[in-house]
Structure 1
């Protein structure tokens, strides 16, 4: 009878652990845009007629020409060996609209969004052609390796639910073992 009690307690503990695991893997949906190369646009909010910097970090995952397209600028290519280009946003782009920018390299694509802000011009100046600053590539920083899930912080609801499930399964296992023990003694 002792083996049945131990097996049922182990099964309840495993069940509680199984129900807490999906919350560890649940994300906000941003991981569906993983590519072997890095990419970004600057600025992410730009005015109609402004110049958008298209930045690429190849990291060995993109060897060919990169094709970048969106509904608010003409298709741009970054040739092999280069890591940046610029695009001019259409002057008739609607303010407040969000547009997808697609980077395609070696058959792999990644997407990011830009927002059309208010005004006209470069997004930071008066809109005159002499306000256009040269492309400034940001300083690349290393990844935040080794911090695991602690980057996003703690979710008190998930921790509480996990603790309640584990505590409940331990409590039920203890109750069942005490109840079965009392019936064995009778």
Structure 2
């Protein structure tokens, strides 16, 4: 009779994990053919990942991706993604169309260039182009560290509660 508690823990864990995924992070990002653009907002000079959801009824051949803000990129048939670097002179706060073309089908997603200016120079005159550019300002792959921590706490708590309840019930059966 151990299968029931194990199945309960597995289902509870899967439900908790699925609840931790933000609504906008679902694969496909609203695209009919499963094309993705990540992140949807990027700073000038930043990189975007262009994805193709081939398993979800998407394209079978190579995909050509074009936009006024980066050079045209071709995603080969057996690849699911490629990267493109946004022009450094892209208009801050502007929204650009990114067009995916495959087998006579086209679809357009929007790419927003991050706006505003921090007042800090992005290019130090003494040390041009040296060192590593810092990350996303305290986030990991677009997620807030607090959200990740709370999600992990939720999963750990639900698994611990399920384990505790299954052990307590097993002890009642033996008595």
Tell me the TM-score normalised to structure 2 length: 0.49
Q: Which structure has the larger Rg over C-alpha atoms? A: 1
Structure scoring higher RCO (CA < 8 A, sep ≥ 6) equals 1
Tell me the TM-score normalised to structure 1 length: 0.46
Give the structure with the higher percent helix. Answer: 1
